[in-house]
Amino acid sequence: MIDFRTHPGKYKHWRLGIDGRVATLTMDVQEDGGIDPGYELKLNSYDLGVDIELYDAVQRLRLEHPEVGAVILTSAKDRVFCAGANIRMLGLSSHGAKVNFCKFTNETRNGIEDATEHSDQKYICVINGTAAGGGYELALAADYIMLVDDGSSSVSLPELPLLAVLPGTGGLTRVVDKRLVRRDRADFFCTLVEGIKGKRAVDWNLVDEVVPRSSLEKVARERASEFAAQSKRPTGVKGIELTPLRRDIGEDGITYDNVTASLDRTMRAATITVNAPKEAPPGDPGAIHAQGAAFWPLAVARELDDLILHLRFNEPDLGTWILSTSGAPDMVAAADESLLANQDDWLVREITLYLKRTFKRIDVSSRSLVALIQPGSCFTGTLLELALAADRSYMLDGTFEGGNLPPAVVRPTGMNFGPLPMCNGLTRLHSRFLADPSHVETVKAESGNDLDAKAADALGLVTFTPDDIDWEDEVRIVIEERASFSPDALTGMEASLRFAGPETLETKIFGRLTAWQNWIFQRPNATGEEGALKLYGTGNQAKFDTKRV
């Protein structure tokens, strides 16, 4: 089982150091520390285990270290920054493992960029040797790239000529959309095995600066100090500790403090339930800081995040996620009010951003999402986003026969109108109502109001509103139907439909690159017995089917 829970004391591959306003993340991959047997992580090449630690470090820098305004990414290896994803690991991995790995690394790099854009925590990548493939893609996530000028160190994206695949973590997209490299130059660069170094790398905007080896560390520190001095992150305040998550995994269920998952292997479905807080979370920033990782919105973000990753990697056969909530809507509304009223507080802002990233992770998960809104639910504000993220939502009209709970309601709050955008830059409500953006204002006018099934249906907030007589059959049919369809076709359909509206760097990476990589990773030219990925390092030449498809 792959476990995404870690902390700096358990890291094998990274060292995290803090010096005033500047943090340093040093990559020092343990060759025999692969997450699976059968390969060595030479030349700072990485696998999922390396990236799990990087993701954890990025999260901790945001929540545990508010004083850090700049982060240096570098390598402890002599004349090697990072050789990218380990090729032997990719060759041994199943197709699903490769694609899930690429998706997670993309999300981690997007998290670095999110820290820059929204948390004023800027990253400098100091390339002290060769940066190939995923190593250069890691650098591309940073705001500023420094390359050692030693006559041999270079940056490259050699996947196409060497492996017959594409850069798997956003390299093509970031080169032209973020670095704004000219397309003709990018074409040449992405077919050049040895890469580009020195002045040409700067002239083509592949890096920002080349520095002699003798002064690399000094100049890197100067640049980081300049970034940190410009940062508006607070000084003289303490972060909170991201304490270990409590989690119990059984044969048919997973339990956290606030989130549970019930696993139905016969129907290949997981029912995810998020529970409202039992009492109103504090509204005072001091009390929020005192609660720390126990503050309900943060606890839910962390638990949902961990559960999503666990289900993705460890339960690939559970293709349908049924999204449910339980508890008092007023308690969720109080938590939302606490977040909205304290956005000037650095910690509250970071918690809101964490929630945003967690919901984005749901959006890009290759699973069918079905929301069930029943008596006892609390699809309010932040948790209403679960229903809005679903591919379909079913809301019971009325009550269950013999039940003692009042009819289900949904309640929009301010959290539904800006703080939690999707990868396309729009809220889920704006994405829902692209044909009539003004309708979002109609929904906004209902903020704070409980809407029953008829009202929610009239506002377009739910898909279907069956009554007690039809509920069981309609829910059963959608789950059975989803289990009967091709998972590959469902993944393609859902990903195509979820991100209507404007295209962004993120939607290109997840909508285009992962689709291309998904297809290319299955083509014989890459993964066949005589494919480039299979034969890499053997000395044998790959044999390609030369027909274009």
Of 384, 372, 385, the closest CA to residue 479 belongs to 372
pTM for this prediction: 0.96
Tell me how long the chain is.
549
Structure tokens at 31: 């060759």
In degrees and rounded to multiples of 5, residue 244 shows phi and psi of -60, 140
Q: How many CA atoms lie within 13 A of 467 on its CB side?
A: 4
Asked whether residue 243 is assigned to any structural domain, the reply reads: no
160, 306: one domain: no
Last residue of a domain, which of 229, 258, 281?
A: 229
Give the CA dihedral 215, 217, 219, 223, nearest 10 degrees: 170
Q: Which residues contact 88 (CB under 8 A, 6 or more apart)?
A: 38, 39, 40, 537
Domain count, the chain: 2
Taking only the tens place, the pLDDT of each residue in 372-402 is 999 999 999 999 999 999 999 999 999 999 9
CATH number of the domain residue 412 falls in:
3.90.226.10
94, 184: one domain: yes
Asked whether residue 324 is assigned to any structural domain, the reply reads: yes
Q: Which residues contact 101 (CB under 8 A, 6 or more apart)?
A: 47, 48, 51, 85, 93, 168
82, 197: one domain: yes
Type of residue at 330:
D
pLDDT number for residue 192: 96
Comparison of pLDDT for 499 and 397, the residue scoring more: 397
Type of residue at 104:
F
279, 224: one domain: no
136, 52: one domain: yes
Quick check: 350 pLDDT over 90?
Answer: yes
519 pLDDT band, cuts 50/70/90, is: confident
Residue 40: how many other CB atoms lie within 10 Å: 15
Whole-angstrom distance, CA of residue 200 vs CA of residue 155: 11
Whole-angstrom distance, CA of residue 98 vs CA of residue 517: 9
Taking only the tens place, the pLDDT of each residue in 110-138 is 999 999 999 999 999 999 999 999 999 99
Distances (CA, A) of 201 to 76, 175, 198: 23, 12, 6
In degrees and rounded to multiples of 5, residue 187 shows phi and psi of -60, -45
Asked whether residue 284 is assigned to any structural domain, the reply reads: yes
Type of residue at 22:
V
195, 343: one domain: no
Classify burial at 502, counting beta carbons within 10 Å of its beta carbon; exposed 0-12, middle 13-18, buried 19 or more: exposed
Asked whether residue 360 is assigned to any structural domain, the reply reads: yes
Lowest mean pLDDT among 148-157, 424-433, 505-514: 505-514
Residue whose tokens read 């390969």 = 39
- Mean predicted confidence (pLDDT) in 322-335: 98
359 pLDDT band, cuts 50/70/90, is: very high
Asked whether residue 518 is assigned to any structural domain, the reply reads: no
Last residue of a domain, which of 479, 496, 513?
A: 496
Quick check: 406 pLDDT over 90?
Answer: yes
Mean pLDDT of the chain: 96
Q: Residue 380: give the domain boundaries.
A: 248-496
499 pLDDT band, cuts 50/70/90, is: confident
Asked whether residue 112 is assigned to any structural domain, the reply reads: yes
260, 222: one domain: no
288, 341: one domain: yes
Quick check: 91 pLDDT over 90?
Answer: no
Quick check: 549 pLDDT over 90?
Answer: no
Asked whether residue 115 is assigned to any structural domain, the reply reads: yes
314, 172: one domain: no
Last residue of a domain, which of 475, 496, 517?
A: 496
Asked whether residue 510 is assigned to any structural domain, the reply reads: no
pLDDT number for residue 522: 87
